[in-house]
Amino acid sequence: MSHPTKITFFKRFMTDIQNGAKTITIRDFSESHYRVSSIVDVYALEDQSYIGKIKVLAVKPINFDELNEKHALQENMTLCELQSVIRDIYPGIEQLFVIEFELV
């Protein structure tokens, strides 16, 4: 399987990505196939505007109920906010993946 070279984020997350406050994204299986060390183009989901590039540092499986304060900090959210955001985006999905990244 080829590895994706594009990722989309909601516009509401862009400031945190661009200022380095958000350093992970939590995705479902369908969006988990990023290769570690790859450079990925970032677009806004709503209008596909180009935002910049990130480097994928790690991709690790996680269950929803394993999300913790460290993940919340890496998302620049409270744990309660993070759980709510993930439940909204991926309702009923327990198997998730933490994609760690840095801006390049």
Ligand X SMILES: CC(=O)Nc1cc[nH]c(=O)n1
Question: What is the set of active-site residues?
Answer: 22, 25, 75
29 lies in the site for ligand X, by CB under 6 A: no
Q: Which of 5, 6, 10, 49 binds ligand X (CB under 6 A)?
A: 10
How many whole angstroms separate alpha carbon 53 and alpha carbon 74?
Answer: 18
Q: By three-state DSSP, how is residue 79 classified?
A: helix
Strand ranges (DSSP E) for the chain?
A: 6-9, 24-27, 39-44, 50-63, 95-103
Residue 66's Cβ-side half-sphere holds a number of Cα atoms within 13 Å equal to 11
Stretch that binds ligand X, among 24-32, 33-41, 56-64, 66-74 (CB under 6 A): 24-32
Binding to ligand X by residue 25, rule CB under 6 A?
yes
Is there binding between residue 13 and ligand X (CB under 6 A)? Answer: yes
Inter-CA distances, 31 with 8, 19, 51, Å: 10, 23, 18
Segment contacting ligand X by CB under 6 A, of 7-15, 33-41, 47-55, 63-71:
7-15
| 97 sits near ligand X (criterion: CB under 6 A) | no
Question: Among 39, 89, 95, 102, which residue interacts with ligand X (rule: CB under 6 A)?
Answer: 89
